Structure 1
Amino acid sequence: MTSPTALCAGRVAVVTGAGRGLGRAHALALAAEGAKVVVNDLGVGLDGSGSGTGPAQQVVKEIRAAGGEAVAHNGDIATSEGAASLVAAALDSFGRLDTLVNNAGFLRDRMLVNLDEDDWDAVMRVHLKGHFLPLRHAAAHWRAEAKAGRAPAARVVNTSSGAGLLGSVGQGNYAAAKAGIVGLTLVAAAEMGRYGVQVNAIAPAARTRMTEATFAETMAAPGEGAFDAMAPENVSPLVVWLGSAASAGVSGRVFETEAGRITVMEGWRPGPTADKGARWTPAEAGEAVTGLLAAAETPQPVYGAS
């Protein structure tokens, strides 16, 4: 059933990795606010192995059962062909594309000395390349629309993580990929604003296949009747708003979101500075840095650090 606010009425949204967890919650929430949804999911396991059409088809059934419109897409969005077909699915099925939610991902956690090159490449591929390619193909479509005089009110919501903002022990590949997504978000927002495209990122915390085992105590469901702070559905309202025309003027931002909390994250900024006006000797540089660090704010700790 569509929400009375119908915040996304008339819009077409694509959500990657939408068969389970956060992606599923986003797809259902967008549909509830009136969006027609392309539900992408490759149906892989937690580590990216295997595939299957079931998860995406199940979410489509849920949306349709509630009176919404949706289609499934089972392509690999970390390939150019799969990403192009994702955009085409929206255009062929619904005649337009307004919102892209990049969410797909999986984990292959290892400490750095045990992290295989294949595990590094696989996580980089699904998270970072899997954000870049759908964004690149969607952006090309929106640029063409703008140049044809049909300026869109397009929205992109990328998915970073606290691991990408602060680091996370045992997740060097994942943290690096999620940090890269923040950089990609900032560049895309700067480049695509002239074409009517806004690009933002979220760093969510919720109970999903990727977190319920690793952070079992934190992610545990509460007793009956209590607020489920770690439910993925808590993150989706912000995604819906960022993906709607109502978010006009908001771009190039990163939001941390979990439970009932939304935080605007403020990234690297110049801190204490020393300028000699000439070349430092190593000893002088060390003395200067020691003083600067004493005046600087203490960094937030890396997740999992003792």
Structure 2
Amino acid sequence: MMEGKVVIVTGAGGGIGRDIALLMARYGARVVVNDIGASLEGTGHDSSPGERVVAEIRAAGGEAVANTDSVADNGAGTRIVTQALDTFGRIDCIVNNAGILRDRFFHKMSDEEWDAVLKVHLYGTFNLSRAAAPHFKDQESGAFVHMTSTSGLIGNFAQANYNAAKMGIAGLSKSIALDLGKFNVRSNCIAPFAWSRMVSSIPTDTPEQAARVEKIKQMTPAKIAPLAVYLASNGSRDVNGQIFTVRNNEIFLMSQPRPLRSVHRSDGWTPESIAEHGMPSLKASFVPMDRSGDVFSWDPI
């Protein structure tokens, strides 16, 4: 399904990105494996994780090259795309997977903790997508696969930076789909459930939290890769602007914001009439204060 295509996978030195890169190569893609080799907190720089994945791909008969640019840097997107073009002659898909965490309750979060997570997730997705867009437009084909999260789409504690970035990625993906759809360019999101470094920091202070972590451990990163390969392939030519969740052997199509309920007064509203009539009428349709784990509360299949 990916024969002849060139794919860039960011954060591909381990976890979800590694499995996506390996499966892309197995299905015929030539892969740029991007990873700076940083810690979960984004510190350090080590080229060996990406190089190991490249070695795995080559050992299986595939073609790959490593890249160690940080997607958070303004010029990194152009450098990574240029490397793909110089090495393989084209670019067909971007998988925006790189990420870090700086978990902290909102009222205690520092400027650095906010900025660092937004820079890697949201700015990184923008940087690489914008760099690839002119090439996709000129060749009238291309696919973006962005990693969002149910922590952003639904909510989670102590992750205001991460949640905002992941919700922002969903909005960015929809804008890309709308702006580039007429050039046969697609942009879709995956919200993955998988045990990786990105979720290994989930607290286990209570029996309920510990049980949730044990469930997530059953969901391997390899479960995410098939949908990413499909969304990168020509088989998904009619799939654009969508958000999917993968949870072990389940694939969900996620809702996107639409009106739930309305109230109307022919003479307009006052603060008093909103309090007396408007808000009580709407309250039955309020979205509950759920976390991701409350919505996805059953055992993975």
Q: TM-score, normalised by structure 2?
A: 0.91
* Residue identity in the other structure for 1:159: M
Secondary structure in 1 matching 2:75: helix
- Asked if structure 1 preserves the Cα contact closer than 8 Å seen for 2:190 and 2:246, the reply is yes
- Asked if structure 1 preserves the Cα contact closer than 8 Å seen for 2:20 and 2:228, the reply is yes
Describe how 1:37-116 pairs up with structure 2 within 5 A.
Answer: 37-116=31-110
- Asked if structure 1 preserves the Cα contact closer than 8 Å seen for 2:263 and 2:281, the reply is no
Pick one of 231, 242, 253 that aligns with 2:220: 231
In structure 2, how many angstroms separate the alpha carbons of the residues matched to 1:257 and 1:91? 31
- Asked if structure 1 preserves the Cα contact closer than 8 Å seen for 2:195 and 2:218, the reply is no
In structure 1, how many angstroms separate the alpha carbons of the residues matched to 2:67 and 2:219? 27
Pick one of 276, 281, 287 that aligns with 1:291: 281
In structure 2, how many angstroms separate the alpha carbons of the residues matched to 1:167 and 1:84? 33
Displacement after TM superposition at 1:300 (Å): 6.2
Pick one of 95, 108, 112 that aligns with 1:118: 112
Displacement after TM superposition at 1:80 (Å): 2.7
RMSD over aligned Cα atoms: 1.7
Displacement after TM superposition at 1:195 (Å): 1.5
Q: TM-score, normalised by structure 1?
A: 0.90
Secondary structure in 2 matching 1:80: coil
Displacement after TM superposition at 1:298 (Å): 4.5
Number of the residue aligned with 2:29: 35
- Asked if structure 2 preserves the Cα contact closer than 8 Å seen for 1:169 and 1:303, the reply is no
In structure 1, how many angstroms separate the alpha carbons of the residues matched to 2:166 and 2:244? 13
Secondary structure in 2 matching 1:203: strand
* Residue identity in the other structure for 1:251: N
Number of the residue aligned with 2:207: none
* Residue identity in the other structure for 1:75: D
Secondary structure in 2 matching 1:101: strand
- Asked if structure 2 preserves the Cα contact closer than 8 Å seen for 1:198 and 1:251, the reply is yes
In structure 2, how many angstroms separate the alpha carbons of the residues matched to 1:31 and 1:221? 29
Displacement after TM superposition at 1:42 (Å): 0.8
* Residue identity in the other structure for 1:252: G
In structure 2, how many angstroms separate the alpha carbons of the residues matched to 1:247 and 1:9? 15
- Asked if structure 1 preserves the Cα contact closer than 8 Å seen for 2:38 and 2:45, the reply is yes
Number of the residue aligned with 1:171: 159
Pick one of 235, 242, 248 that aligns with 1:253: 242
Q: Does 1:205 align with 2:193?
A: yes
Displacement after TM superposition at 1:278 (Å): 3.3
In structure 1, how many angstroms separate the alpha carbons of the residues matched to 2:289 and 2:229? 29
Displacement after TM superposition at 1:290 (Å): 1.1
Displacement after TM superposition at 1:279 (Å): 2.7
- For residues 104-128 of structure 1, the C-alpha deviation after alignment (integer angstroms, 9 at most, x for no partner) is 0000000012110110000000000
In structure 1, how many angstroms separate the alpha carbons of the residues matched to 2:129 and 2:242? 16
Number of the residue aligned with 1:19: 13
Displacement after TM superposition at 1:192 (Å): 0.6
In structure 2, how many angstroms separate the alpha carbons of the residues matched to 1:105 and 1:38? 17
In structure 2, how many angstroms separate the alpha carbons of the residues matched to 1:114 and 1:272? 35
